[in-house]
C-alpha cells in the first residue's frame, strides 16, 4: 500500500469499490477542466453485467473514463451540468441522456440542497487520504460540496499526480445559507484555509489505488483570427487601463477555457500594463498562464483547475517549487463567486458560439439546438465582472457562417451581461449605446462578406417604430 493512504482505510480494487454504487444512484464525481477526475471506479461499474441508469454530476469537464464508458455501456441516464466528451455530446443531442445546464458557481449549493436528486455516492480523485480528510489532485471544482453532500465516499488515490499538489490548494468550505459568512479572500493568492477536504469517516466505503494520468486539453495552435483577436483585445485593454479608475493600480483578469482563451492568455506579454500589478482570477489555469508567470507578467493566479495540456502539466509538476507560491486552487463556488469577482473588479474575457446585433450571446448551442459543452462559468464572470468581454472569430465553417447574426437562436448571456465584443475585425464597445447604435457597432466587427446582409437586416428592422429594432420575419432567415 502506498504511503499516501493512511493505515486502516478500506483499500480495495476498483471492481470492489464499484459495488458501492447502486444501479440508479446519483453519483458525484470530481474533475474540472478535463483534469482531476476519477479513472478506475466508473469503468469498473460500467463493466458490470446488469442494467443501470446513473445520474452523474461533475463540477466541470471530465475525461472519457467517466462519460464515454458509461454511455458505451448504456448505463448513463442523466448528466449535470457540463460535459466535454464527444460521446456524451452525441448522446445528449440525440436525447438518449437527459442533460441540464447550470452556472458553475451554483452547482455546489444545488447538490447539497438535493436539487439534482439525493446524492448517493461521491467518487473523488486525490493525491492522499487520511481517516477523515483527502487532498484533491489537479482540480478542486465542487469536491468539498460533493464530499459533504454524498451518503458514501469512494476515494481514488492517483500516484500519477504529484503529492506536492497539496501546496497549491486552499479549500474554503462555505456553510449553507442563512448561516453563510463572507468569503475572507482579499487577494488572489491569499490562503485562507487548509489544503485538505474533511469528511465524516463513516462515509468512506472504499479507497482505490490508481496510477493514470489525466486526459487533458490539447490546445490547437493559434489561428490568424486568434492572433488578430488578441491584438484587438490588447489595444482595447491598454486604452481601458488608462481611462478606467478601477484599473489604475491593479488589473484582475479572467479568460474562458479552451484554445482561444489559452491563446489570449499567451499574448499577455504584448499588453503594456505599466507598473500595475496583474493578477489572474478565474476558474481555469491554462498553459498561457505558465508563460505569463515565467515572464513575471503576473503577480499570481487563482483558479479551481489546472486545465493544462499534457506538456503544461509536466512543466508545472517539474517546477512545482517555482509555481507553488504563485498559484492557488480553490473550490469552484469560491473561484467563481460573484462577490469576489465584483470585489476585485475582474475583467473577464469569454467566448461564444455566436452573438446577435442586440448584444445577446449564445455560448452553448449550435443552431440553437445542439449543445456543445455547457454554460460553465461564463455566466458567473460575464454578469459579475466590472468589465465583461466576449471574444470570438467572426465566422465559422471555413468562413461560410457568420457568428455575428441578427438574432441568436439560444440566449445564454443577455445584452445586459457583458459590455464589449471583440472579433478579428475590431472591438464593439457597447457601453451606453442604444439598441440601434449597438446594431451598427456590431455590424462593423462582423466579417466584411456578411456586412451588407446584416445592414439590410438593420434597415428592415429600423423601418418600424419601437425601442428595439426587430424584424421577426427575417431575424432567423436574413440571408438571400
Return the C-alpha cell found at 188. 488572489
Least reliable range by pLDDT among 187-191, 298-302, 453-457:
187-191
Q: What mean pLDDT is predicted for residues 171-193?
A: 93
Return the pLDDT at 220.
79
Instruction: Give the integer Cα–Cα distance in Å for 231 and 292.
Output: 16
Residue 79 has which C-alpha cell? 448528466
Q: What is the distance between the alpha carbons of residues 323 and 317, in angstroms, rounded to a whole number?
A: 9
Over residues 108-136, the mean pLDDT reads 97
Residue of 93, 24, 90, 29 whose CA lies nearest to 61: 29
Please say whether the dihedral angle defined by the alpha carbons of residues 249, 308, 328 and 185, taken in this order, is positive or negative: positive
CB-count exposure of residue 460 (10 Å: 0-12, 13-18, 19+): middle
Encode 123-161: b = buried (16+ Cβ within 10 Å), e = exposed: bbbbbbbbeebbbbbbbbbbbbbbbbbbebbbbbbbeeb
* CA gyration radius, the chain: 23
State how far the Cα of 56 lies from the Cα of 119, in Å rounded to an integer: 10
- Split at pLDDT 50, 70, 90, the class of 259 is confident
Q: What percent of the chain has pLDDT over 90?
A: 90
Q: What percent of the chain has pLDDT over 70?
A: 100
Cα(428)–Cα(314) distance, integer angstroms: 39
32: closest CA among 88, 115, 107, 131? 107
Q: Is 189:250 a contact under the CB 8 Å cutoff? A: no
Q: Are 134 and 26 in contact (CB under 8 A)?
A: no
Tell me how far CA of residue 260 lies from CA of 202, 232, 347, 371, 458, in angstroms: 45, 14, 16, 19, 30
Residue 41 pLDDT:
98
Mean pLDDT of 427-433: 98
CB atoms within 10 A of CB 399: 12
CB 316 within 8 A of CB 285: no
329-349 pLDDT, tens digit each: 999 999 999 999 999 999 999
The pLDDT of residue 241 is 94
Write down the mean pLDDT value for the chain.
94
Cα–Cα distance for residue pair 305/157, rounded to 1 Å: 18
Residue 415's nearest CA partner among 359, 368, 467 is 359
Confidence of residue 197 (pLDDT cuts 50, 70, 90): very high
Confidence bin at 419 (pLDDT 50/70/90): very high
Q: Is the model's pLDDT at 237 over the cut of 80?
A: yes
pLDDT at 288: 87
pLDDT tens-digit profile of 68-115? 999 999 999 999 999 988 999 999 999 999 999 999 999 999 999 999
User: Do 382 and 282 form a contact (C-beta atoms < 8 A)?
Assistant: no
Assign residue 5 a region (left: φ > 0; alpha: ψ between -120 and 50; beta: otherwise).
Answer: beta
| Stretch among 61-75, 188-202, 266-280 having the lowest mean pLDDT | 266-280
pLDDT above 70: residue 383 = yes
User: pLDDT class for 269, splitting at 50, 70, 90?
Assistant: confident
Q: What is the pLDDT of residue 216?
A: 74
In the predicted model, is pLDDT for residue 274 greater than 70?
yes
pLDDT of residue 265: 77
Is 240 a residue whose pLDDT tops 90?
yes
Per-residue pLDDT, 261: 75
Q: What is the mean pLDDT of residues 183-195?
A: 92
Residue 114 CA neighbour count, 13 Å, CB half = 3
pLDDT at residue 280 in the model: 95
Per-residue pLDDT, 429 = 98
Mean pLDDT, range 440-467, rounded to an integer: 97
- By the 8 A CB rule, do 341 and 385 touch? yes
Supply the pLDDT for residue 66: 96
Tell me what the mean pLDDT of segment 131-152 comes to.
Answer: 98
Examine the pLDDT at 480 and tell me if it is beyond 70: no
The residues that are catalytic are 283
Please write down the HEC assignment for all residues of the chain. Answer: CCCCECCCCCECCHHHHHCCCCCCCEEEECCECCECCCCCHHHHHHCCCCCCCEEEEECCCCCCCCHHHHHHCCCEEEEECCCCCHHHHHHHHCCCCEECCCCHHHHHHHHHCCECECCCEEEEEEEEECCCEEEECCECCCHHHHHHHCCEEEEEEECCCCHHHHHHECECCCCCCCCCCCCCCCCCCCCCCECCEECCHHHEEEEEEECCCCCCCCCCCCCHHHHHHHHHHHHHHHHHHHHCHHHCCEEEEEECCCHHHHHHHHCHHHCCCCCCEEEEECCECCHHHHHHHHCCCCCEEEECECCCCHHHHHHHHHCHHHHCCCEEECCHHHHCCHHHHHHHCCEEEECCCEEECCCCEECCEECCCEECCCCCCHHHHHHHCCEEEEECCCEEHHHCEECEECCCCCCCECCCCCCEEEECCEEEECCCCCHHHHHHHHHCCCCHHHHHHHHHHHHHHHCCCCCCCCCCCCCCCCCC
How many other CB atoms sit within 10 Å of the CB of residue 221? 7
Is the CB of residue 419 less than 8 Å from the CB of residue 237?
Answer: no
Structure confidence at residue 1 (pLDDT) = 63
pLDDT category, 479, cuts 50, 70, 90?
confident
Domains annotated for the chain, with CATH where assigned, are 14-210 (3.40.1080.10), 224-462 (3.40.1080.20)
In terms of Cα–Cα distance, which of 240, 237, 235, 234 is closest to 266? Answer: 234
pLDDT in tens, 293-334: 999 999 999 999 999 988 999 999 999 999 999 999 999 999
Amino acid at each position: 500500500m502506498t504511503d499516501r493512504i493512511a493505515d486502516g482505510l478500506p483499500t480495495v480494487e476498483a471492481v470492489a469499490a464499484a459495488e458501492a454504487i447502486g444501479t440508479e444512484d446519483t453519483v458525484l464525481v470530481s474533475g474540472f477542466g478535463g483534469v482531476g477526475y476519477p479513472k478506475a471506479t466508473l469503468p469498473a461499474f460500467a463493466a458490470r453485467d446488469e442494467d443501470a441508469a446513473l445520474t452523474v454530476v461533475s463540477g466541470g469537464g471530465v475525461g472519457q473514463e467517466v462519460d464515454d464508458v458509461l454511455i458505451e455501456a448504456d448505463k448513463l441516464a442523466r448528466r449535470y451540468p457540463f460535459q466535454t466528451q464527444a460521446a456524451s455530446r452525441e448522446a445528449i443531442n440525440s436525447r438518449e441522456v437527459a442533460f441540464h445546464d447550470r452556472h458553475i458557481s451554483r452547482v455546489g449549493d444545488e447538490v447539497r440542497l438535493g436539487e439534482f436528486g439525493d446524492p448517493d455516492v461521491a467518487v473523488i480523485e486525490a493525491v492522499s487520504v487520511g481517516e477523515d480528510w483527502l487532498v484533491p489532485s489537479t482540480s478542486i471544482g465542487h469536491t468539498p460540496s460533493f464530499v459533504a453532500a454524498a451518503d458514501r465516499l469512494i476515494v481514488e488515490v492517483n500516484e500519477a499526480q504529484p503529492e506536492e499538489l497539496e501546496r497549491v490548494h486552499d479549500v474554503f468550505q462555505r456553510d449553507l445559507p442563512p448561516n453563510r459568512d463572507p468569503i475572507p479572500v482579499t487577494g488572489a493568492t491569499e490562503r485562507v484555509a487548509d489544503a485538505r477536504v474533511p469528511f465524516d469517516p463513516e462515509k468512506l466505503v472504499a479507497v482505490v489505488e490508481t496510477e493514470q494520468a489525466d486526459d487533458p486539453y490539447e490546445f490547437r495552435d493559434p489561428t490568424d483570427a486568434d492572433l488578430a483577436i488578441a491584438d484587438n483585445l490588447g489595444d482595447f485593454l491598454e486604452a481601458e487601463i488608462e481611462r478606467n479608475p478601477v484599473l489604475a493600480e491593479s488589473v484582475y483578469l479572467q479568460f474562458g477555457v479552451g484554445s482561444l482563451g489559452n491563446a489570449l492568455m499567451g499574448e499577455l506579454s504584448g499588453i503594456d500594463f505599466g507598473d500595475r500589478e496583474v493578477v489572474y482570477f478565474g476558474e481555469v489555469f491554462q498553459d498561457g498562464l505558465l508563460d505569463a508567470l515565467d515572464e513575471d507578467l503576473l503577480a499570481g493566479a487563482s483558479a479551481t483547475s489546472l486545465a493544462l495540456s499534457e506538456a503544461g502539466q509536466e512543466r508545472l509538476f517539474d517546477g512545482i517549487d517555482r509555481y507553488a507560491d504563485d498559484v492557488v486552487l480553490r473550490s469552484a463556488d469560491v473561484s467563481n463567486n460573484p462577490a469576489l469577482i465584483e470585489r476585485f473588479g475582474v475583467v473577464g474575457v469569454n467566448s461564444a458560439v455566436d452573438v446577435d446585433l442586440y448584444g445577446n450571446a449564445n455560448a452553448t448551442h449550435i443552431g440553437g439546438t445542439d449543445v456543445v459543452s455547457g454554460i460553465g462559468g461564463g455566466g458567473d464572470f460575464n454578469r459579475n465582472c466590472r468589465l465583461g468581454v466576449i471574444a470570438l472569430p467572426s465566422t465559422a465553417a471555413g468562413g461560410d457562417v457568420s457568428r455575428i447574426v441578427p438574432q441568436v437562436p439560444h440566449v445564454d448571456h443577455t445584452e445586459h451581461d457583458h459590455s464589449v465584443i471583440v472579433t478579428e475585425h475590431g472591438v464593439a464597445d457597447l457601453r451606453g449605446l442604444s439598441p440601434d447604435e449597438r446594431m451598427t457597432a456590431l455590424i462593423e466587427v462582423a466579417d466584411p462578406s456578411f456586412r451588407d446582409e446584416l445592414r439590410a437586416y438593420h434597415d428592415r428592422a429600423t423601418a418600424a417604430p419601437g425601442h428595439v429594432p426587430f424584424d421577426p420575419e427575417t431575424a432567423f432567415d436574413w440571408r438571400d
